[in-house]
Amino acid sequence: MTTSQTLPAVKRLSPNTAAWAIFALAVGGFGIGTTEFAMMGLLPNVAAGLGVSIPDAGHVISAYALGVVIGAPLLVAISAKWPRKALALALMGLFTLGNLSSFFAQDYSTLLVTRFVAGLPHGAYFGVAAVLAASMVAPTKRGRAIAMVMMGLSVANVLGVPLATLVGQQFGWRLMFIMVAIIGMVTMAAIAKFIPAQKAHPDASLRRELSALRRGQVWLTLLVGVVGFGGFFAVYTYVANTMTDVAGFAADFLPVIVGLYGLGMVAGGFVGGKLADWSVMGSIYAVMSFIAVTLVIYALGVHIQWLALVMIFIIGASGSMLVPSLQTRLLDVSPGAPTLASSLNHSALNMANALGAFVGGLVITWGWGFTAPALVGAVLAVLGLLIALGSGLLDKRKAAAGIQ
């Protein structure tokens, strides 16, 4: 059974109409990327505003990531019989409300709770958006369609995150949540206008979606994301302090730095989509290797300002290149349950986010310095590569044995 046969049917769209539909979904990714990554650039401001340490402020990021981890399977499971358009609208509505609640949080504990709530719809939204996008195009263009949805996340790091960082530094970090809430409302309007209405899959059920969890290759692919991306997020969580304390940049230059990271994500998204359509597993092997090398170079050379800027761009590109392949791989190994499997990819990546923030804060607390998370991350990337190689080997053995 091919993956395209398991996706929910949608009204046949012209290329132009499909492009607008995918754009509508990408706008939601823009809002999600802004709220997720702007917190990293504003971490010193959050710590000062709440009167907590930098590592403690990093737990706010972990709380959001934990919300994604729990919310993706939970929300997809309970909405298994919902039409996909209605689900996308509901998830973006919850995301908008979660960010508004973060704006009004007045203390550290309350902010932890509100960031957890805001993270709940994150993974489920991207999972539904990826399935919708893949169902609107030819099977040979699935990787690029998924990459275009994820491009909203990348563009957020070029436009949304630098703007939110600048506004947060000048006028208060809480205003970032208002910006994101407005983006959420725009997304809901765009989805309502451009995404065609469709009925839920006739066989949709909680049991059908949960069938993805019985497949070993689904878990291996998720593990690649958790382990391989852990070090990537360990670096980016503490990028503000690394760039000011180690590279020696002024704090008001941080919007430019996160903008470079975002440009790298955009470039990596374009490349990653094409790589996924070329070879899903081949691209995972190549990109995981590239991430490991990149993080080592970053750790060794971040004190050189021009090299630090180059490596921030490359780190952004390397991470973004991997996402379309992981997303497509999950669609391939979960026939009959694409929505849950696709959503779990973002649970995995945000488990990596939480892991990265924790490990990065841990080695910093131990006094190893702000470059230590990158070296730990390189080790994690190699472990992720080994898991991916094991998954690919299992595929070859099953193919040789004639097992579907």
Q: What pLDDT, on a 0 to 100 scale, did the predictor assign at position 3?
A: 44
Taking only the tens place, the pLDDT of each residue in 55-65 is 788 888 888 87
CATH topology of domain 14-401: Growth Hormone; Chain: A; (1.20.1250)
Q: Given this model, what pLDDT does residue 403 score?
A: 61
pLDDT grade, residue 203 (50/70/90)?
A: low
- Rounded Cα–Cα distance for residues 188 and 24 (Å): 8
The span from the CA of 345 to the CA of 343, in Å, is 5
pLDDT of residue 349: 79
- pLDDT tier, 1 (very low <50, low <70, confident <90, very high otherwise): very low
196 neighbors 11 (Cβ within 8 angstroms)? yes
- Amino acid 197: pLDDT: 76
The predicted-structure confidence for 88-100, as pLDDT tens digits, reads as follows 999 999 999 999 9
Question: What are 243-273's pLDDT values in tens digits?
Answer: 999 998 988 888 788 778 878 888 988 898 8
What is the rounded CA–CA span in Å between residue 288 and residue 207? Answer: 33
Task: Name the packing angle between helices 216-237 and 372-401 (round to 10°).
Answer: 160
Confidence of residue 5 (pLDDT cuts 50, 70, 90): very low
Give the number of other CB atoms < 10 A from CB of residue 171.
10
C-alpha 290/C-alpha 271 separation (Å) is 13
Residue 182 C-alpha from the chain's centroid? 20
pLDDT of residue 73: 81
Q: Indicate the SS3 state at residue 79.
A: coil
pLDDT, one tens digit per residue, over 308-328 is 999 999 998 988 888 888 888
Residue 199 confidence class, pLDDT cut points 50, 70, 90: low
* Residue (of 170, 163, 280, 297) closest to 221 by Cα position: 280
- Residue % of the chain over a pLDDT of 90: 27
